[in-house]
Chain A
Amino acid sequence: DSGVTQTPKHLITATGQRVTLRCSPRSGDLSVYWYQQSLDQGLQFLIQYYNGEERAKGNILERFSAQQFPDLHSELNLSSLELGDSALYFCASSAGTSGRASGELFFGEGSRLTVL
């Protein structure tokens, strides 16, 4: 058990809809990372938050947004969903006092999104 909790584990929805994925990082970790894993794109970095502020941005679509709340949990919002958004979405957290990744990431079990 990594200590990172993601909900929901599975989600099935239709094109055009909006979903919210939730992540609770390990106790004490200030950084949260979101990754998307699909068969054709591999594991893609989406975005990182550190102590409530966006720290780094990767291949995140404009239809997607994220935030980190004062209690350090994070949410990834996916809107106007398309078939190609079907993937595993992982949240990871890390220790570190500056928000600069240097050590290992602790991954949650992921949220599997299926868009029909």
Chain B
Amino acid sequence: SQQGEEDPQALSIQEGENATMNCSYKTSINNLQWYRQNSGRGLVHLILIRSNEREKHSGRLRVTLDTSKKSSSLLITASRAADTASYFCATLVSGSRLTFGEGTQLTVNP
């Protein structure tokens, strides 16, 4: 079974709007990472947040982590059509493997 579960499974917004994706996980983690995947392409790392951090920013990306609720959110501000992709959260389990959620398919309409 997957460690992380993203919500929603699919999200469709207009260019310029903000997109928020959520991730819940089951066990204690060392860190949580977000990746992006364009259709049929390799995954690209976006941002990493450690278990002792609560919020992190990178450009238009903002990630929060609530370890008490075992959840994280990814906010993309001022979205662009080029942000259309699948977004995955991944949690570090047992120190040697990264376990991915099912992903959120984001569509940004021009």
The residue that B98 contacts in the complex, of A55, A99, A101, with Cβ under 8 A, is A101
Residues of B within 8 A of A107 (CB): 35, 42-44
* A110 and B42 contact, Cβ closer than 8 Å, known pairs A101-B92, A102-B31, A104-B33: yes
Chain A residue with minimal CB distance to B42?
Answer: A107
Contact in complex: B41, A45 (CB < 8 Å): no
> Is the C-beta of A112 less than 8 angstroms from some C-beta in chain B?
yes
Residue of A nearest to B30 (CB): A102
B interface secondary structure, majority: strand
B42 and A2 form a contact (CB under 8 A): yes
How many interface residues does chain B have, given as a range?
20 to 34
Chain A contacts with B in 8-62, Cβ cutoff 8 A: 33, 35, 42-43, 45, 48, 55-56, 58
Number of A-B contacts (CB under 8 A): 61
Determine if B92 and A102 form an interchain contact, defined as CB atoms under 8 angstroms apart: yes
Q: Which residue of A lies closest to B41 (CB)?
A: A109
Are A42 and B44 closer than 8 Å at their CB atoms? Answer: no
Q: How many residues of A contact B (CB 8 A)?
A: 27
Say whether, besides A43-B88, A99-B96, A104 and B42 are in contact (CB < 8 Å).
Answer: no
Residue with the greatest number of chain A CB neighbours at <10 A, chosen from B92, B95, B96: B96
> Is B99 part of the binding interface, using a Cβ–Cβ cutoff of 8 Å?
yes
* Residues of chain B lying within 8 A (CB to CB) of residue A55: 96
Taking the closest CB of chain A, its distance from the CB of B8, in whole angstroms, is: 16
Q: A102-B31, A102-B92, A104-B33 are contacts. A45–B98 as well, Cβ < 8 Å?
A: yes
The answer to whether A2 touches B92 (Cβ under 8 A) is: no
Which residues of chain B (69-110) have a CB below 8 Å from chain A?
Answer: 88, 92, 94-103
Residue B13 lies at the interface, judged by CB distance under 8 Å to chain A: no
